[in-house]
Structure 1
Amino acid sequence: MPEEVAAKLPEVPAKPLTYDVKREGETAVVKCHGRLVAGLTDGFYKELKEVASSSKVLVLDLEDLTYVDSMGLGTIVRLYAHAKSAGCEFQLLHLGKQLRNLLKMTNLLSTLASAEGHGITVA
């Protein structure tokens, strides 16, 4: 019986992740919109990995990001690690309350903030 009830519940689609990449000299600013969640992270990571490889500074502007799950958090950490190994400075701008709390809970806020000279700007 519980399986039948679960099957009848409508599936709530995730708000799609969209992002715009703007280059200003050797700096790439990525404005993110929507939700950074499982199923939407692979393409995001692959494209931004290439952007980081060809930039001196990669800025993720997260002002319009409404939610990040564990896969999304993992993607941010992977981008940070790739950028650092590629000699690219990595910055996070405009952290929302949910992501800031997630970074604090996982002890990543201090790591990401202290890892780079500019750290994280929280608006």
Structure 2
Amino acid sequence: MSEEPVTSLVREADVVTVNLRGEVDVLTVDQVRVALVEALESRPRTVVVDLSDLSFIDSTGLGALIFGFQRARDANIAFRLAHPSRGVRQILVLSGLLEVVELTE
């Protein structure tokens, strides 16, 4: 297991930002799921997943983002991805995730 945390949460008014950093893969994906659940539990108006410090995401990480998106949608909470690097953005495009999840550049 990776000891390095890959998530952090920032709460501001009705927006919770989940910051992802480093690599999200099979070793770290549970941290992402836990952070998304924690963000949604506070019932904000919007959850933003900031990808600016993320260097890589694999299929398990994409699955965690879909998990968060679906839970947010079910709770009528807006869910956005923000500031992906060029490489991460390409993975998001190829996965088709950006066809359903809003992206903020």
- Please report the TM-score for the alignment, with normalisation by the length of structure 2: 0.85
CA deviations on 1:61-104 (whole Å, 9 max, x unpaired) are: 11000100111111111111111111111011101122211222
Whole-angstrom CA distance in 2 between matches of 1:20 and 1:46 = 11
1:64 aligns with 2:53: yes
Long gaps (5+) in structure 2? none
Residue aligning to 1:110: 99
Cα gap change, 1:80 to 1:24, in 2 (>3 Å): same
Q: Which has the larger radius of gyration?
A: 1
Paired amino acid for 1:63: S
Larger strand proportion of the pair: 2
Q: Is the partner of 1:95 in helix, strand or coil? A: coil
Whole-angstrom CA distance in 2 between matches of 1:59 and 1:78 = 14
Cα gap change, 1:79 to 1:65, in 2 (>3 Å): same
Contact kept in structure 2, 1:53 and 1:83, CA below 8 Å: no
Q: Is the partner of 2:38 in helix, strand or coil? A: helix
Q: Is the partner of 1:99 in helix, strand or coil? A: helix
Paired amino acid for 2:30: D
1:50 aligns with 2:33: no
- Please report the TM-score for the alignment, with normalisation by the length of structure 1: 0.74
Long gaps (5+) in structure 1? 1-12, 113-118
Question: Aligned-residue CA RMSD in angstroms?
Answer: 2.0
Paired amino acid for 1:48: L
Q: How does 1:1-80 map to 2 (within 5 A)?
A: 16-54=4-42, 55-80=44-69
